[in-house]
A and B are shown apart, each in its own frame.
Chain A
Amino acid sequence: MERKRPQLNADDLGRLRWGLGALMALLSVVTVFFMDIDAWLLMPVVAVAAIAALVRPTWPSKLPGFVHRLAFPFIALAFVYDLTSSQEPLPALIRLALLLILYRVITYRQRRDDLQLVLLGLFLVIVAGVITVSLSFAVQLLAFTSCALVMLLAVTLEHADGRSPKAYAPGVVPSWTRGSWRTHLAKLRMATDWRLAALGAAAFGGLVVLSGLLFLAIPRFDIQSSLFIDRLISRTTKSGFSEDIRFGEVTAITQDNSLAFSVDIEDPGLMPAVPYWRMVVLDEYTGEGFRVSSQFRRDLNLGSIARSRVNGTRLRPDYGAPTWTFYMEPGISRYLPLLGDFYTMSFTEPQSFGFLEQLRVVALRREPPKMFAYRTWNMGTAANMLDATFALDLRGNPALAEPFLHLPDDPTDLARLDRVLEKISPAPPVSAAAFSVAAINWLEQEHPYALASAVPEGEGDALIRWLDSEASGHCEFFAGSFVLLARAAGFPARIVTGFRGGTWNEFSGSFMVRNSNAHAWVEIFDNASNSWIRYDPTPGHEAIAARAAAASETALASLRDGSWNARLESLRVFWYRRIVNFDIETQEAMVTSTKEFLQNKSRELVAWTDSRLAALRAWATQPWNLDRFAWIGGILLGFGLLSLAWRKAGQRWWLQLRRSTIRRADQDPVRREAARWLRRGRRLEAFVWPPDTEAALLRLRFGNDQSWPDPTDVFRAARQAWRGRD
């Protein structure tokens, strides 16, 4: 007798909807967590409420009635207050959505409320996706959509008879809250037609793949700028790259190991052993620290027309010159990291930015709120950067060098500085290079390196006080001291901040730079070569460079990173390369490479088949002799013997092997196979088993295994009876 699988009743569906609702609420909270929205109180509250609703579905009935009466007025008031006090519409909307979700999670929902919950969650997931454009967005969206689909299915099934379930009165416990999740899930499992479920999952998967392919194929447009969503959110900078450095009493650098940016290089051989990624150049000394002088700052902020391309200071390269593609994480800086000069720089969409030729610095008008990608062509990587304009200006009008020679005004400070300079090089230095080496050596002897620095107590300029002591310091102190010394000695000098080093991710084939790589160094102008020469006065960097060079022949090999973290980050790089920063060229390249790959494979397959066929034909057309007959006969005999052995012993042995490895009685392969045959027979109404076979199958299925006939024989008989059923 074929029995129907149990049907889900209204209670089961109600409970399913309840659980899915709580899950979707949790997913929505997770998405808000990824946005930089100030909802640190609401998020845990919603999460706890959702988990409580999952674990104890009865507790919403204990809420007093006034909660339901006052909920919506309260939420409306809270939203209006939030909007007027924060003045930021999007965060206020997100907090509103969270509040509504919270209320929906702690009340028993009708169909309308369920749909509302789906929409609220979807709103949060989509907004988070547009704001962060991160890989997790794709995962969240997939998880959320599948939950929402099952929820909609449950809602539809519940209303399948055309009648809506009655509304829940406050304080009344719905009948579906009885029983545990365990029994509920067990019933759900029994009620599920797994073939249908698999079909549904496959259809969903197919849809996802199809939309993924469509997404790759359609032209890109910048959703974010179209929606202006990023402007609705104010952000804080993570690593704090700014336009000034201050030497306070106590400073400490925190180690943040998260990714700052990654770089794709067409020719990895170009990568220096220790790359210095320039971002901000600080020229003006204020007595408290260094900063970008107001004139340069103004020049940087002049560019207001959005352009997607800028020409640098290097000459046009040959056609094949390599490009560098940068993917900068959000929250790093509005200054873009570069190794040096470049011929052109391009962006995926037009940007408002400033390019300061004097400093070779590019800065966006606004710090990008999501991952930002740009590409340079023919970028210089050398330690010295030719600046003919500055050299010419300097000869014509030495006053132009003034910003790079600026020193503290106080005579006592200057005297102290001169005293230190006297110790470094008693005679006036001949060249910038010679001076730099002497100054770096002296600094290294006098000051140890430390992440946490304290300026000694006393009068006068803080940096000179530090310079004149034996206190430890971090890179900014060394760089700042060096610049002051160089300027006192008459060489134009400036501080550069950015990142030093990085690692080579083997899995993605890209260069990863982390926030912990943040660094400060100097550039000093050398009259002889008309260029700015980079020096790193911080102790230890020479050793790093030497080790990198000695360790292997190529620079990248020493920076290789094969860790699990690198694997994860390679996924992120893939996401950036293929999904986020995907211009028409890359798109074309990918389509072409896919096409070529498929064409090559099919060509190879055709060639292989042809060659096999030709070989077969050649073999068949050979003259027949005894040897060949013997060969064929031998092979046929071998096959015959093999199949005989399989029938006689192999099947039995295979069944025994499978039975010996089972862990639970219901996994017994013989019982399962017998059940399969019996089921098959029941399904076909007109089919009747021969009595002996049926009895034997029943015995294999339900009988004591000591009384079993040989299962192999029974199954063979069953197969024969089944085949001869017509």
Chain B
Amino acid sequence: MSDFVAASTIADAKAAIDKLRANMQRTIKGKDDVIERTIICMLARGHLLIEDLPGVGKTTLAYSLARSLDTAFSRIQFTSDLLPSDVTGVAIYDETTKEFIFKKGPVFASIVLADEINRATPKTQSALLEVMDRGRVTVDGESHPVDHPFMVFATQNPVDYEGTFPLPESQMDRFLMRIQMGYPAGKDELDILRAESSSYDDIVLDPALTRTEVSQLQQIATQVFVEDSVLDYVLRVITATRTESEFKSGISVRGGLALKSAAQALALVRGRDFVIPDDVTDLIAPTLGHRLSLTRPTSDALEERRAIGAVLKRIVEALPEPQ
């Protein structure tokens, strides 16, 4: 059970998170819920899968988080000829010292944007996913820890599936959440159009949090209290997905843990040191949706996403929340 967190700590944490949120809102217009989920993902030490059409601000989102945290950002465009070493780095022979030295790849940054991850071969995909899982790169038996905080934003285009390698379910499980960006609202889009520059390199943001503060926030998020009845609710939700006949297989134990830690992070974002059932309910779709697949395959990814969402909604509605 989590330790008791002092009320003042929570208030400070909420203030820091609100500052981060406000900072990001300056570049990401009208996407408050996306920003919130990104922050949740960051607090819960998870990675984010963004599934949407190109040009809706996926890169901008990752970049503005990196700028707000004052951390290194790197962007990897995944293509079918991308090699694992292009991601992780490579050991090269140094003539002067007469030994192999490790040349770090683009994954050695705090915020890594893996653009169109499904275009790379499974081998390259799994190289990245291994880093996401273990937080380190191992080359020639030598391991190199990645930065801290470390968060991967992977993007996928749900419509254009030609010549892609869709991520297998086991790999999907490694993402804490899957979100969609969606088009901005008319007024917000007008603001974007009005802006002078549209390149993300032109984004100038003051850092809102330091790395230490991020670590502290992540630590506090793990201490957010989860009462037994809420844990039981999480358990009932994931058990219900396992007995549902429309799903090929249910949620894994990792999925249950992900739901719990995401709910803890959301509680912290909302300024609470304990989780309420609504925190869990709000995150069921983004945290569990990508871990499930239907028994009867559908024509395209969007359709499948909608169908899974509908079944999840039905399951959740049939389960009583703890009162």
Residues of A within 8 A of B (CB): 1, 3-7, 179, 190, 665-666, 671, 675, 678-679, 698-699, 701-704, 706-707
User: Is B323 interfacial (CB-CB < 8 Å)?
Assistant: yes
Whether B275 pairs with A702 at a CB distance below 8 angstroms is yes
- The residue in chain A whose Cβ has the minimal distance to the Cβ of B224 is A704
Residues of B within 8 A of A179 (CB): 243
Expressed in whole angstroms, the Cα–Cα distance for A706 and B5 within the complex equals 10
Whether B317 pairs with A3 at a CB distance below 8 angstroms is yes
User: Is B189 interfacial (CB-CB < 8 Å)?
Assistant: no
12 new A-B contacts, CB < 8 A, other than A1-B278, A679-B323, A706-B4, are A1-B281, A3-B320, A190-B320, A671-B227, A702-B225, A702-B227, A702-B230, A702-B274, A703-B227, A703-B272, A704-B273, A707-B273
- A-B residue pairs in contact (CB < 8 Å), sample of 22: A1-B278, A1-B321, A6-B318, A665-B228, A666-B228, A666-B229, A678-B323, A679-B323, A698-B272, A701-B227, A702-B225, A702-B230, A702-B276, A702-B277, A703-B227, A703-B274, A704-B4, A704-B225, A704-B273, A707-B5, A707-B7, A707-B274
User: Is B2 interfacial (CB-CB < 8 Å)?
Assistant: yes
The smallest beta-carbon distance between A8 and chain B, in angstroms, is: 10
User: Is B319 interfacial (CB-CB < 8 Å)?
Assistant: yes
Residues of A within 8 A of B272 (CB): 698, 703
Whether B228 pairs with A704 at a CB distance below 8 angstroms is no
A666-B228, A703-B225, A707-B7 are contacts. A698–B276 as well, Cβ < 8 Å?
A: yes
Expressed in whole angstroms, the Cα–Cα distance for A707 and B10 within the complex equals 12
Expressed in whole angstroms, the Cα–Cα distance for A706 and B317 within the complex equals 32
A3-B320, A665-B228 are contacts. A704–B243 as well, Cβ < 8 Å?
A: no
Residues of B within 8 A of A671 (CB): 227, 229
Residues of A within 8 A of B274 (CB): 698-699, 702-704, 707
Expressed in whole angstroms, the Cα–Cα distance for A3 and B5 within the complex equals 30
**Interface of chain B residues 237 through 265 with chain A (CB within 8 A):** 243
Whether B228 pairs with A707 at a CB distance below 8 angstroms is no
The smallest beta-carbon distance between A10 and chain B, in angstroms, is: 13
The smallest beta-carbon distance between A181 and chain B, in angstroms, is: 15
Residues of A within 8 A of B320 (CB): 3-6, 190
Partner of B273, one of A1, A3, A703: A703
- The residue in chain B whose Cβ has the minimal distance to the Cβ of A664 is B228
Residues of B within 8 A of A704 (CB): 1-2, 4, 225, 273-274
Residues of B within 8 A of A4 (CB): 317, 320
In order of increasing CB-CB distance, the 3 nearest A-B pairs are: A703-B274, A704-B225, A6-B318
The smallest beta-carbon distance between B271 and chain A, in angstroms, is: 9
Expressed in whole angstroms, the Cα–Cα distance for A706 and B319 within the complex equals 29
Whether A675 pairs with B227 at a CB distance below 8 angstroms is no
Q: Mark B204-225, 1 if CB is under 8 A from A, else 0.
A: 0000000000000000000001
**Interface of chain B residues 155 through 202 with chain A (CB within 8 A):** none
Partner of A707, one of B1, B4, B323: B4
The smallest beta-carbon distance between A45 and chain B, in angstroms, is: 35
The smallest beta-carbon distance between A4 and chain B, in angstroms, is: 7
Expressed in whole angstroms, the Cα–Cα distance for A42 and B101 within the complex equals 86
The smallest beta-carbon distance between B14 and chain A, in angstroms, is: 13
Expressed in whole angstroms, the Cα–Cα distance for A3 and B281 within the complex equals 11
Expressed in whole angstroms, the Cα–Cα distance for A706 and B230 within the complex equals 17
Residues of A within 8 A of B273 (CB): 703-704, 707
Expressed in whole angstroms, the Cα–Cα distance for A698 and B323 within the complex equals 10
Expressed in whole angstroms, the Cα–Cα distance for A675 and B276 within the complex equals 12
Q: Mark B273-289, 1 if CB is under 8 A from A, else 0.
A: 11111100100000000
- The residue in chain A whose Cβ has the minimal distance to the Cβ of B229 is A666
In the complex, which of the residues A698, A699, A702 has the most CB atoms of chain B within 10 Å of its own CB atom?
A702
Expressed in whole angstroms, the Cα–Cα distance for A190 and B4 within the complex equals 33
Residues of B within 8 A of A1 (CB): 278, 281, 321
- The residue in chain B whose Cβ has the minimal distance to the Cβ of A175 is B245
- The residue in chain B whose Cβ has the minimal distance to the Cβ of A672 is B323
In the complex, which of the residues A179, A190, A675, A704 has the most CB atoms of chain B within 10 Å of its own CB atom?
A704
The smallest beta-carbon distance between B148 and chain A, in angstroms, is: 28
Expressed in whole angstroms, the Cα–Cα distance for A679 and B322 within the complex equals 10
Residues of A within 8 A of B225 (CB): 702-704, 707
- The residue in chain B whose Cβ has the minimal distance to the Cβ of A675 is B323
Expressed in whole angstroms, the Cα–Cα distance for A707 and B281 within the complex equals 24
Expressed in whole angstroms, the Cα–Cα distance for A702 and B225 within the complex equals 8
Expressed in whole angstroms, the Cα–Cα distance for A4 and B225 within the complex equals 26
Expressed in whole angstroms, the Cα–Cα distance for A707 and B7 within the complex equals 8
Q: Mark B1-29, 1 if CB is under 8 A from A, else 0.
A: 11011010000000000000000000000
- The residue in chain B whose Cβ has the minimal distance to the Cβ of A706 is B4
Expressed in whole angstroms, the Cα–Cα distance for A396 and B148 within the complex equals 132
Whether B321 pairs with A3 at a CB distance below 8 angstroms is yes
The smallest beta-carbon distance between B205 and chain A, in angstroms, is: 32
Residues of B within 8 A of A190 (CB): 320
Expressed in whole angstroms, the Cα–Cα distance for A4 and B320 within the complex equals 7
Expressed in whole angstroms, the Cα–Cα distance for A190 and B281 within the complex equals 19
Expressed in whole angstroms, the Cα–Cα distance for A81 and B243 within the complex equals 50
Residues of A within 8 A of B276 (CB): 698, 701-702
Whether A6 pairs with B319 at a CB distance below 8 angstroms is yes
Expressed in whole angstroms, the Cα–Cα distance for A7 and B319 within the complex equals 10
Expressed in whole angstroms, the Cα–Cα distance for A395 and B226 within the complex equals 106
Residues of A within 8 A of B278 (CB): 1
Residues of A within 8 A of B4 (CB): 704, 706-707
The smallest beta-carbon distance between A692 and chain B, in angstroms, is: 13
- The residue in chain A whose Cβ has the minimal distance to the Cβ of B281 is A1
Expressed in whole angstroms, the Cα–Cα distance for A671 and B228 within the complex equals 11
Expressed in whole angstroms, the Cα–Cα distance for A1 and B282 within the complex equals 12
The smallest beta-carbon distance between A193 and chain B, in angstroms, is: 12
The smallest beta-carbon distance between B227 and chain A, in angstroms, is: 5
Residues of A within 8 A of B275 (CB): 702
The smallest beta-carbon distance between A718 and chain B, in angstroms, is: 15
Expressed in whole angstroms, the Cα–Cα distance for A706 and B225 within the complex equals 11
**Interface of chain B residues 95 through 114 with chain A (CB within 8 A):** none
Residues of A within 8 A of B321 (CB): 1, 3
Q: Mark B299-323, 1 if CB is under 8 A from A, else 0.
A: 0000000000000000001111111
Residues of A within 8 A of B227 (CB): 671, 701-703
- The residue in chain A whose Cβ has the minimal distance to the Cβ of B319 is A6
Expressed in whole angstroms, the Cα–Cα distance for A7 and B318 within the complex equals 7
Expressed in whole angstroms, the Cα–Cα distance for A665 and B2 within the complex equals 16
Expressed in whole angstroms, the Cα–Cα distance for A1 and B277 within the complex equals 10
- The residue in chain B whose Cβ has the minimal distance to the Cβ of A666 is B229
The smallest beta-carbon distance between A587 and chain B, in angstroms, is: 52
Expressed in whole angstroms, the Cα–Cα distance for A515 and B300 within the complex equals 83
Expressed in whole angstroms, the Cα–Cα distance for A5 and B243 within the complex equals 19
Expressed in whole angstroms, the Cα–Cα distance for A678 and B4 within the complex equals 24
Residues of A within 8 A of B317 (CB): 3-4
Residues of A within 8 A of B318 (CB): 6-7
The smallest beta-carbon distance between A97 and chain B, in angstroms, is: 39
- The residue in chain A whose Cβ has the minimal distance to the Cβ of B4 is A706
- The residue in chain B whose Cβ has the minimal distance to the Cβ of A678 is B323
Residues of A within 8 A of B281 (CB): 1
